[in-house]
Structure 1
Amino acid sequence: MGDSLRIGVLHGDGIGPEIVPAATTVVSTALGRNEIDVEWVDLPFGAAAIESHGTPAPDETLRALDGLDAWILGPHDSAGYPAEFAGQLTPGAVIRKRYNLFANLRPSRALAADRAMSPGIDLLIVRENSEGLYADRNMATGSGEFMPTPDVALAVGVVTRAASERIAREAFTWARRRRGKLTIVHKANVLTMTTGLFRDACLDVGRDFPDVEVSQQHVDAMAAHLVRRAADFDVVVTENLFGDILSDLAAELAGSLGTAASINCSSEKAMAQAAHGAAPDIAGRGIANPTAMIGSAAMLLAWLAQRSGDERIFAAAGAIDAALAATVAAGVSTADLGGAASTAEFAQAVAERV
């Protein structure tokens, strides 16, 4: 990568055009202080792309992503798109499938202890991102949901050993980097074959990581344990649907879904994408919390650093994380965390601390 990065910018819908620039401001500052230039490549995406190109994920955007180091993806409001796009893959899903971004990494850490229901929480949920019960991910063509009659709806859930082992290896690798503990979450007492296969594949991979302490929980028990003792968990690996639900719960325990950072990645490509949605009800008001988007961008830099071995990018990612924590600790936050800062004011405060 040398002394420069080319990172795509897809602003998205709703609050996207507010929180994505907040993230790029902070990232530019952090990389600049570590003597790395960044070229931001704006690409059409979402509702604006429907107006300009007739589709939310234009071919020119997808082709451009091929040549970029990584990209930042704003939230999309596909429910608000014209009726002709109903039932189609969301634009984020189009990108995720194109690049086989099989891992969704969602950390939860309390930034403002007085606003967190679990002040000691510091965990990473590693979510399998390519199959399961999600209809946009489990079929080569068509949808994984279908209705044989108007009053009967069926869904196909897909769990494969290959995908389960792949996400397990990712999770064990992260556990080794963190505190050396990994919890496998499943529902094998009821979904014996599907989530049982997921559990067994994870346990098999664990034999290659004897230094990692392994435990397992049923998903319903795990939800209760997170509420009662979230600080006891380090890395959690689970399938798609369970990971989606548990990560939102963990984010609220940490203070707000607005702080929920996330990246979707493979071994070759990654995109920063906050765990929350487009929040069209507050779009344009300058009150959206950009913490999740900024944190997602920091995770993206850490992923790029691991891939390249460039310590300067690691330093930039670490500086952003530290600046986020210091900013909130200083009493600067958006309204959802009890503060009065606007989206842009919060981003500027973080950039100054970088």
Structure 2
Amino acid sequence: MEKLRIAIMEGDDIGTEIVPVARDILSKSLQMMDIDIELIELPIGKLAYEKYGDTFPHHTISQLNNVNGIICGPIGHNNYPRDDPHWKMPPIRKHFELFASVRPIKSFNTDRDIDIIFVREVTEGLQSTETVVAGYPEFRPNDEITIASRVITRSGSEKVARCAFDIANTKNRKKVTAAHKEPIYRLSCGMFLEECVKVAKEYEDINFDDTLIDTIAMHLVSRPESFDIIVTTNQFGDILSDIGAGLIGSIGMAPGLCVGNNLAMAQATHGSAPDISGKNISNPYAMVISTAMLLSWMGFKYKEDKLVNASNLIEKSANDVIAEKKFITADIGGKSSTQDMGEEIIRKLECNSI
């Protein structure tokens, strides 16, 4: 089989701290499992602008066309200049049709048994920076009016619904819940729900229900244990998955994987946190588990059991560190640095491989 390649892009702010930790853990696990994967460093965000005059330059795009997986740190686009089109949120998801963002949340050391996978469509919907490759879906015809568009397609809805049910099959999950607001958005949410219902009929062993978005938000807080997999549209998924992260104590504990038909990208669900950048206190867990999710996806995609085993080893080692509470960052009650937590995960890799 052709040698696999993974692109690594640090992103902005704390991305320059947590991505190197994830890369070191990835490299160690590949070495221990005797897996030969080429790791390619590429610029994106501020670093790319400084070098190429664009946050998503052609150099990076051309290299990404030839990789099997991507690891990408957070992008600090909220602080980009608004008057320069070259300072933009890199439209990686849209460009490479990474249509579903898979965001698992799991409780640790709490009284609640929370274990939910959010599956969010990310190439259409209302999120302007993620759904276009040129121009803007918002405009202001005069100073008193702003108009925004929301795009829902049958194809996009069907793909994200099928992704959710396929994950349920793979992970032995029992129920998929579609989150929507069909009584109000009868055509847009209506189309999304229609496709979810169609796909559900093909998976007879998996229970399916649908619930209004506001009801789900309330039930996530009051009884999150009742949910298994939640599939929804772009903006709804962005909000719900952040509520989920709050339930388990920190956005630094919320990993993510953006998947398409032929490519996947590991990207933690949190932002670039410029307020703590450079302090070596950011939690690397979400980025590390996102990387493990990428290895698992590649393992199933390319039928390489070693990659799945490496993914499982990373996940167990990171979870062991969380459970022991000795080398964890301040956001989850510890005093360790980003680097110290990463080094402890590597030590656990070595122990767990014996």
Common fold, TM-score beyond 0.5? yes
Partner SS, residue 252 of structure 1: helix
Distance change >3 Å, CA 319–CA 140, structure 1 → 2: closer
2:177 equivalent among 163, 177, 183? 183
Please list the CA deviations of residues 100-154 of structure 1 after superposition, one character each: whole Å capped at 9, or x if unmatched.
Answer: 11111111012x324xxx7311111010111111223445642111112111111
1:275 equivalent among 269, 279, 282? 269
The answer as to whether partners of 1:138 and 1:156 remain within 8 angstroms in 2 is: no
Match of 1:103 in 2: 100
2:341 equivalent among 326, 337, 346? 346
Distance change >3 Å, CA 83–CA 130, structure 1 → 2: closer
Worse-superposed segment, 136-145 or 331-340? 136-145
User: Is 1:202 aligned to residue 196 of structure 2?
Assistant: yes
Match of 2:41 in 1: 42
Match of 1:306 in 2: 300
Match of 1:165 in 2: 158
Match of 1:59 in 2: 58
Distance change >3 Å, CA 284–CA 124, structure 1 → 2: same
> What RMSD in Å do the two structures reach over aligned CA positions?
1.6
How many residues of Structure 1 are paired with residues of Structure 2 in the alignment?
Answer: 347
The answer as to whether partners of 2:122 and 2:131 remain within 8 angstroms in 1 is: no
CA–CA distance in structure 2, aligned partners of residues 313 and 85 of structure 1: 41
1:260 equivalent among 254, 264, 272? 254
CA–CA distance in structure 1, aligned partners of residues 224 and 314 of structure 2: 24
Please list the CA deviations of residues 45-86 of structure 1 after superposition, one character each: whole Å capped at 9, or x if unmatched.
Answer: 111111111111111111111111211111111232344436
1:152 equivalent among 132, 145, 168? 145
The answer as to whether partners of 1:5 and 1:36 remain within 8 angstroms in 2 is: no
Match of 2:16 in 1: 17
The answer as to whether partners of 2:95 and 2:133 remain within 8 angstroms in 1 is: no
Give runs of aligned pairs for residues 327-346 of structure 1, distance below 5 A: 327-331=321-325, 332-346=327-341
CA–CA distance in structure 1, aligned partners of residues 18 and 145 of structure 2: 41
Match of 2:352 in 1: none
CA–CA distance in structure 2, aligned partners of residues 337 and 224 of structure 1: 24
1:201 maps to a residue whose letter is: E
Q: So what's the TM-score if we normalise by structure 1?
A: 0.94
CA–CA distance in structure 2, aligned partners of residues 289 and 130 of structure 1: 28
Partner SS, residue 267 of structure 1: coil
The answer as to whether partners of 2:282 and 2:329 remain within 8 angstroms in 1 is: yes
Please list the CA deviations of residues 231-278 of structure 1 after superposition, one character each: whole Å capped at 9, or x if unmatched.
Answer: 221111000010000000001112210111011110101111110011
1:223 equivalent among 194, 217, 220? 217
Shift of 1:184: 0.7
Match of 2:278 in 1: 284
The answer as to whether partners of 2:55 and 2:88 remain within 8 angstroms in 1 is: no
Worse-superposed segment, 176-185 or 285-294? 176-185
Q: So what's the TM-score if we normalise by structure 2?
A: 0.94
